[in-house]
Chains A and B, each alone.
Chain A
């Protein structure tokens, strides 16, 4: 399959791209190359192969799963109006 100048003019209009008259011929050449590549791609058997975005298997980066309470119980409780045995003391809400 081969594209001519008229077809290129039409698809350029559809894509809302301005292409000068003397650029139509070279662009037709580029597009014919592309059609050739697409044809070559169909020769590779991709049965059952999922599309990919990264060639190197990488897992999402995760920080180490460690408890990070900071071990600062006293510093944190220093801001509390009242504390007892390592806990905040709050007004009683249930009778």
Chain B
């Protein structure tokens, strides 16, 4: 009997295509697993079981008729609950949205999944409106980390992270404005890609910050991630930030070696600007050694200090977020949870002049990054400075939330991916980021895959696995 929980997309796709497994069986197995285990993890806000089984039956009929659409055909997936799926509620994990929040149109990315024949099983937990968190004063509880349910998943794509690590789905989408795909990927032992700004359309996704928002694929393996990006990437004339860039096959370079590749290590992010937890720092240094051992040419790389990026990110993000929420803030502030209200409200008080200056800082930092990358193919740095803290430890959650090096790449727009680098002594996932040049995601996948193959981190399972 097939163990569906931890099938990779790549493996499932072959077996679905060859009719060794049925999409209906696959969806049912995962729905059963969710029903059995999600009570302890809260990864889903909403399960659409009937819809999933209907879609699986359609996929089965098509595949049986010889019309296999591609690697996501008949494969279950989940959406962070700020991404629209026609006919299903979009709650943004907020009381503010629980009325009248059923869209009649798919988000661009959801439509892409539909074309690919993928099977939506549900909408996942997030921080309220994708900002702040974890919060315990919302209509639904926060998601918990499958590696240890007493610990935080990271956020804001928390439920997507928990659902993947728990073996509920092989594919999920998150969104990333200051690191929200890569944070739960880092803390839950997953691969999370924030592709180049403009690579993936944001149409139909509840915005946090127009100029910093990205939608990104989250998976358990590198190859699976590239398969997902193949499905969701592409120009969308109806998202003004969407780039009409050429779209390669993102799996195209997977399997090639890294001999002679020039890899920069942005060491000051986690040794000087902030000091990473020693286990985290060691795992990154070990990963760099692995890549060096595979023949890569590694040297240090220097950018502006993390503070500069974090400051510009916040001074742009908060007023953009406040502009979206102002009306509700004035009419029904009590419907927001305390944390989102406090965070977003700060945006009301940032001067327009400071906002404009922050966009100039952003331009400057992006230019500096692009210049520095001329000497390298990809770069490696930290993602989270610390492994997941306990979810109910409010002080520690607040302290560690900003200890990260993800916002630089929301600001520069460059592609950045979180990759597992092992486990702490306490059994919690460690991680690094591999970052690249604009629109060069395929090269990041190549390097990440070479590293993944040389280690076995993505093969471990959290303890809830039966």
Contacts and interface: CB of A to CB of B under 8 A. Distances in A.
Contact of A30 (B197, B346, B412): B346
Nearest to A37: B311
B222 interface: no
B364 interface: yes
A38 B349 CA distance: 12
A37 B345 CA distance: 16
Contact of A26 (B196, B333, B342, B356): B342
Contacts of B307: 40
A43 interface: yes
A92 B241 CA distance: 53
Contacts of B333: 17-18
Interface in B75-116: none
B350 interface: yes
A34 B345 CA distance: 11
Interface in B231-253: 235, 237, 241, 243-245
Given A41-B358, A54-B211, A33 B346 contact: yes
Contacts of A59: 244
Interface string A11-45: 10001111100010011001101101110111111
Interface of B is mostly: helix
B362 interface: yes
B138 interface: no
Interface in B374-433: 411-413
A53 interface: yes
A16 B329 CA distance: 10
Given A46-B360, A53-B211, A41 B354 contact: yes
B366 A55 contact: yes
A36 B346 CA distance: 13
Contact of B315 (A23, A41, A45): A41
Interface in A51-80: 51-56, 58-59, 61
Interface residues of B, number: 50
B323 interface: no
Contacts of A46: 357, 360-361, 363-364
Interface string B291-323: 000000000000010011011101100100000
Contact of B362 (A18, A37, A52): A52
A44 B359 contact: no
Nearest to A31: B349
B315 A56 contact: no
A51 B354 contact: no
A54 B199 CA distance: 12
Interface string B333-362: 100001001110110111100101111111
Contact of A11 (B341, B349, B363, B366): B349
B2 interface: no
Nearest to B357: A41
A36 B350 CA distance: 12
Interface of A: 11, 15-19, 23, 26-27, 30-31, 33-34, 36-38, 40-46, 49-56, 58-59, 61
Interface of B: 196-198, 211, 235, 237, 241, 243-245, 304, 307-308, 310-312, 314-315, 318, 329-330, 333, 338, 341-343, 345-346, 348-351, 354, 356-367, 411-413, 438-439
Q: Nearest 8 pairs between A and B by C-beta?
A: A55-B413, A37-B311, A40-B311, A46-B360, A52-B363, A51-B359, A30-B346, A58-B243
Given A36-B311, A41-B315, 15 more contacts: A15-B349, A30-B342, A34-B315, A38-B311, A40-B308, A46-B364, A50-B363, A51-B360, A53-B211, A55-B363, A55-B366, A55-B413, A58-B243, A58-B245, A59-B244
